[in-house]
């Protein structure tokens, strides 16, 4: 079936009819909002009352989007954009879609580091670059570096730095097998590393499993703290005196991850809850 005309009202009726039963009505409204914003530059609230038409090329984009949404492709991949901490980011299946919990991590870092001069920050496992870019936008004097093992992710992150007019040093490196930097020291080390255990597969949404990069999500069950160990060890070597470390964590391993930081010599370790009251953020600092 194709969209019957290029009148916006016909498009809305078609969109609803095609996705009915696959998504709730309020989900369909959110999906339409994404599509209208990216494909036509208007919000769904405006589209709903518009008597205008859209071009053939826009109509084609809606047609493809509806096809993908029927297959449960996440809407952010369908339109290629995601919102994070007040900015827009390009996203493709090579990067994780930024999550609201991660916005809380960014917010904490900004609050605790605002006004400090000569800050040097590194974001490990940068993916779309959402953390690094948001930090640089809000801590403008800081020097921000961002690292990922994936060349495809770094390509998206580089686009996002340009899209948001910020300068970031991107580094392709394997944090599990290579050193963090060539001698550079940091005041802030942040990471949202892969932390979902393979055994948690069954609890995850199908659209996450089918479409988001497994490299960004999973760790083996027998070593869930693999990344946290490698990153804290690197942080000890590459942190300046008093350096602060901020992690997004697996809620199931809050205490174990905190103990690991303590073992490596970190102080003032705090386990913080997210909006859903789950242990999600861990912070601490070097002496
Ligand atoms: C959970 S995602 C986080 C993405 C982004 N920072 C965010 O918060 O949305 C983890 C990231 O770590 C990267 N990664 C996985 N293994 C890595 C490794 N050995 N060294 C460096 N980065 C790695 C993945 O490519 C992915 O981009």
**Span 160-211, pLDDT tens digits:** 999 999 999 999 999 999 988 778 999 999 999 999 999 998 889 889 999 9
Pocket test residue of 94, 127, 147 for ligand 1, highest count of atoms within 8 A of CB: 127
Nearest Cα to Cα of residue 67 among 27, 19, 32, 20 = 19
Q: How confident is the model at residue 44 (pLDDT cuts 50, 70, 90)?
A: very high
Rounded to 10°, the helix 8-19/25-40 angle is 140
**Span 111-157, pLDDT tens digits:** 999 999 999 999 999 999 999 999 999 999 999 999 999 999 999 99
CB 245 within 8 A of CB 267: no
Q: pLDDT at position 180, please?
A: 85
Average predicted confidence (pLDDT) for the chain: 96
Question: What mean pLDDT is predicted for residues 60-71?
Answer: 96
Ligand 1 proximity of 106 Cβ (cutoff 6 Å): no
**Span 82-100, pLDDT tens digits:** 999 999 999 999 999 999 9
Q: pLDDT at position 77, please?
A: 98
Q: pLDDT at position 123, please?
A: 98
**Span 173-182, pLDDT tens digits:** 999 999 887 7
- For ligand 1, the distance from its centroid to the CA atom of residue 218, given in whole angstroms, is 10
- For ligand 1, the distance from its centroid to the CA atom of residue 151, given in whole angstroms, is 11
Q: In the predicted model, is pLDDT for residue 2 greater than 80?
A: no
- Protein residue with least CA distance to atom 17, ligand 1: 149
Ligand 1 proximity of 103 Cβ (cutoff 6 Å): no
Q: How confident is the model at residue 51 (pLDDT cuts 50, 70, 90)?
A: very high
Question: What mean pLDDT is predicted for residues 55-65?
Answer: 95
- Protein residue with least CA distance to atom 27, ligand 1: 127
- For ligand 1, the distance from its centroid to the CA atom of residue 275, given in whole angstroms, is 23
CA distance linking residue 260 with residue 258, whole number of Å: 5
Question: What mean pLDDT is predicted for residues 38-56?
Answer: 95
Q: Is the pTM of this model over 0.95?
A: yes
3-state SS, the chain, equals CCCCCCEHHHHHHHHHHHHECCECHHHHHHHHHHHHHHHHCCCHHHHCCCCCECCHHHHHHHHHHHHHHHCCCCHHHHHCEEEECCEEEECCCCCCCCCHHHHHHHHHHHHHHCCCCCCEEEEECCCCCHHHHHHHHHCCCCEEEEEECCHHHHHHHHHHHHHCCCCCEEEECCCCCCCCCCCCCEEEEEECCCCEEHHHHHHCCHHHHHHCCHHHHEECCCCCCHHHHHHHHHHHHHEEEEEEEEEECCHHHHHHHHHHHHHCCCEEEEEEECCCCCEEEEEEECC
Ligand 1 proximity of 174 Cβ (cutoff 6 Å): yes
CA distance linking residue 199 with residue 195, whole number of Å: 12
Ligand 1 proximity of 129 Cβ (cutoff 6 Å): no
């Amino acid at each position: 079936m194709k969209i019957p005309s290029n009148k916006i009202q016909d498009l809305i009726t078609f969109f609803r009819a095609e996705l009915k039963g696959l998504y709730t009505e309020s989900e369909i409204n959110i999906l339409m909002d994404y599509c209208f914003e990216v494909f036509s530059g208007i919000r769904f609230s405006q589209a709903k009352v518009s008597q205008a038409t859209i071009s053939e090329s826009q109509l084609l984009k809606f047609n493809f989007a509806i096809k993908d949404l029927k297959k449960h492709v996440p809407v952010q991949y369908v339109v290629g954009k995601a919102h994070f901490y007040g900015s827009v980011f390009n996203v493709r299946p090579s990067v994780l879609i930024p999550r609201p919990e991660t916005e809380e991590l960014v917010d904490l870092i900004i609050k605790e580091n605002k006004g400090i001069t000569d800050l040097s920050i590194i974001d490990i496992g940068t993916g779309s670059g959402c953390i690094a870019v948001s930090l640089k936008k809000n801590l403008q004097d800081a020097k921000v570096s961002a690292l990922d093992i994936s060349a495809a992710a770094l390509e998206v992150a580089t686009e996002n730095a340009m899209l948001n007019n910020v300068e970031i040093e991107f580094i392709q490196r394997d944090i599990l097998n290579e050193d963090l930097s060539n001698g550079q020291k940091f005041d802030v080390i942040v990471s949202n590393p892969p932390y979902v255990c393979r055994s948690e597969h069954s609890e995850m949404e199908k659209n996450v499993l089918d479409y988001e990069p497994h490299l960004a999500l999973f760790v083996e069950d027998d070593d869930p703290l693999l990344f946290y160990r490698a990153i804290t060890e690197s942080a000890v070597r590459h942190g300046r005196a008093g350096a602060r470390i901020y992690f997004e964590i697996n809620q199931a391993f809050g205490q174990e991850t905190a103990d690991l930081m303590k073992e490596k010599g970190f102080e003032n370790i705090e386990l913080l809850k997210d909006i859903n009251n789950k242990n999600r953020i861990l912070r601490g600092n070097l002496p």
